A and B are shown apart, each in its own frame.
Chain A
Amino acid sequence: MFRFSLRRILLFSITLWLLSIFTFSLNYWYPGNTLTNMSGVTPAMDTYHDEANARAMDSTIFRQYGQYIAHLTRGDWGLSLTSQEPVFPRLMQQLGATVELMILGALLAVLVGVPLGVYAALQQRQWQDRLILSLSLSTYSIPVFWFAQLAILLFAIQLDWSPVTGQIHPLYAIDTQTGSILVDIWLSDIPYRASAWVNALKHLWLPTLVVALIPLTMLVRMIRSAVLDTLQLNHIKAARVRGLSDRTILVKHVLPTSIQPVLREAGLQFSVLVTNIMIVEVIFNWPGIGSALVKSIFERDYPVLQGGVICLAMLILAVNFAVDLIHAWRFPQVRDVIDED
């Protein structure tokens, strides 16, 4: 495990390094002034020359890269070209909003997807199984933006169960601290906290549902095939011969084994989730990184764009890294396979 972790940590740092080189060179590829793209300081500002010196713009490209990394790690991610605010604190708040949606969506996908998948596997070739499978294949093909529109049309406009966009009703006047609305309400000391929570949840459930749908259906399919494979294994037959009840076999023997192939694909699922979140945030006007990213492309606000790309890519890489470690820690047989190649 130590050897494996070391290899993974090395790989993870190399990836981060490549990512930093990529985002660094992006500043030269975007149209316009490189220093402005990097720091948000325009030539019209008084600080332009100081900034150029601080970032070693008249020196070699290696010095420039060194200064770029120094600024990044210091949390100085430049100024937004539209609002002239520092990018980093704003991005951290948006990250909070995105991560909130992400965690809730993933939670919903796991809580509904795993039982459904197991159920479908146990009912193999029955009508319940066929129904779940065909439903999951068709929901898997729905474009997420169309589904979001249909959901808004049905739940928000026709049934009026939920507001159309936003995080919370502006009248509640919650100060943004972490960006995650539920945490922010908890941190704030307003007297009407419970009603604010109810209002926030009303805004929250529809985007969560839309975000979770596609990962959920993929999870159902993966769990189903993993459980079916596991049921064929010898140790399950042995447990059955020993007379254990179906329930014990399922919970103690089948599920732990079938998690393994699903966990391997978890990274891919996570990137599907992130893609959906980026689109859903734009539709529901959710103040997260995805909507900030899309808006920054429209406004040619390159410091914000760069920050958003770094944040999302780092988040994805970190989650993959964590999943890899958990996977290898929980299932030792995986370590050797990965070590071999």
Chain B
Amino acid sequence: MKTKHGIYYQFKAPSPLLMIWREFHANPISVAAYYLLAVIVLAMLLAPILAPYSPEWQFTDVIYLPPAWHPEGEMRFVFGTDDLGRDILSRVLYGAWYSLGYPLIATFIAAFIGTTIGAWAGMSRGVQSSTLTHFLDVVLTIPSLLLALVIVAIFGPSLHTVMIAITLVLIPQFIHSVQNAVYTQRAKEYVIAARLNGCSRSYILRRVIFPNITSVIVVQLTFALSTAILDIAALGFLGLGVQSPAPEWGTMLARSLDHMYLNPWSMLLPGLMLFVTVLSINILGDNLHRAIQQQERLS
């Protein structure tokens, strides 16, 4: 690729991340998923402005109201109200903080810690590396929900506990994938060349290897994010996560399970939002993964 810098034409190879982004951008479905996710994140950030009511305000005159398109629905409550007369749309919008915002934070913290440990493990060799690999293989086979349940049992159900549990549970996944990525890159010629040039280990890791494994980390981020969303929602659904008045999507679904005969509508929107969010993240991750494989095949 030629870009114009000043008066000279200069050849500049695009970074691996940029090349993958171009590959990714060529696929309309992944672009659609990307924008859908962007809209959901935007709706989450703007929830205080967009939501018509407070998520905890109880309209005692309209309990179990079906959505507006139903003959018995009312236009002021577009998606109806729940068993305490709270507006479902407002609750879902505010609930995005718990069901999307907190998983995002947990994923980023886990990514930071996991990438650091994984990079260190990938750069070291011998006993400590192989012990860690075997240990991680074992930890990864245990379902993350089971580990999260144990952590909740120790500290008691609350938002803090759930955040700690989800972050801890996600770290091994990052260590595993980063370690493998560093390990494969380390044997390649450009890294050996850098080492022959006398670069220090930390320089090789930060400036030589790291740009080439960012794509792996990005894919792992999307997988971890969908795991985190589903786990937080599952804990909320089991009543062991975010506690009740908070409008978390999983908690809302658990409440609607009790009133399924009376008002099946109240499970529509929270479940749908959960589904659409996770689906767009999964499509994003899947297509990113495919784009990376395509790049590897070309190079």
Contacts and interface: CB of A to CB of B under 8 A. Distances in A.
Interface of A: 11, 15, 18, 26, 29-31, 137-138, 140-146, 149-150, 152-153, 157, 267-268, 270-272, 274-275, 278-279, 282-283, 293-294, 297-298, 302, 305, 309, 312-313, 316-317, 320, 341
B253 A149 contact: yes
Contact of A274 (B146, B157, B240, B281): B146
A159 to B, nearest CB: 14
A270 B278 CA distance: 21
A298 B149 CA distance: 11
Interface of B: 130, 133-134, 138, 140-146, 149-150, 152-154, 156-157, 226, 230, 233-234, 237-240, 250, 253-254, 256-257, 260-261, 264, 267, 271, 274-275, 278-279, 281-283, 286
A187 B254 CA distance: 37
A153 B264 contact: yes
B279 A341 contact: no
Q: Is the interface of B mostly helix, strand, loop or mixed?
A: helix
A146 B130 CA distance: 40
Nearest to B278: A141
The winner among B141, B157, B260 for most chain A CB atoms within 10 A is: B141
B279 A143 contact: no
A150 B257 CA distance: 10
**Which 3 residue pairs are nearest across A and B when measured between Cβ atoms?**
A146-B271, A141-B279, A275-B143
B133 A293 contact: no
Nearest to A11: B134
A141 B282 contact: yes
A82 B267 CA distance: 33
B267 to A, nearest CB: 6
A313 B146 contact: yes
A137 B143 contact: no
Contacts of A320: 141
B257 A149 contact: yes
B267 A137 contact: no
B153 A30 contact: yes
A29 B233 contact: no
A317 B137 CA distance: 11
Contacts, number: 111
Given A138-B279, A149-B257, A298-B239, A275 B274 contact: no
A282 B238 contact: yes
Nearest to B254: A145
Given A26-B150, A137-B282, A293-B149, A143 B271 contact: yes
The winner among B133, B134, B146 for most chain A CB atoms within 10 A is: B146
A320 B286 CA distance: 26
A153 B260 contact: yes
Contact of B238 (A268, A271, A294): A294
Nearest to A309: B150
A149 B274 contact: no
A11 B135 CA distance: 9
A316 B134 contact: no
Contacts of B274: 143, 146
Given A141-B226, A305-B150, 5 more contacts: A145-B250, A267-B141, A298-B240, A313-B146, A317-B141
A1 B233 CA distance: 44
A138 B234 CA distance: 18
Contact of B267 (A146, A272, A294): A146
B154 A137 contact: no
A143 B278 contact: yes
Contacts of B234: 143-145, 275, 279
Contact of B141 (A142, A271, A298, A341): A271
A133 B279 CA distance: 13
Contacts of A31: 154, 156
B233 to A, nearest CB: 6
B150 A341 contact: no
B260 A272 contact: no
Given A153-B260, A294-B238, A278 B146 contact: yes
A274 B257 CA distance: 22
Contact of B154 (A29, A143, A146, A282): A29
Given A141-B275, A143-B274, A294 B240 contact: yes
A142 B275 CA distance: 5
Contacts of A145: 233-234, 237, 250, 253-254
Given A274-B146, A297-B149, A137 B250 contact: no
A286 B274 CA distance: 25
A149 B272 CA distance: 12
B256 to A, nearest CB: 7
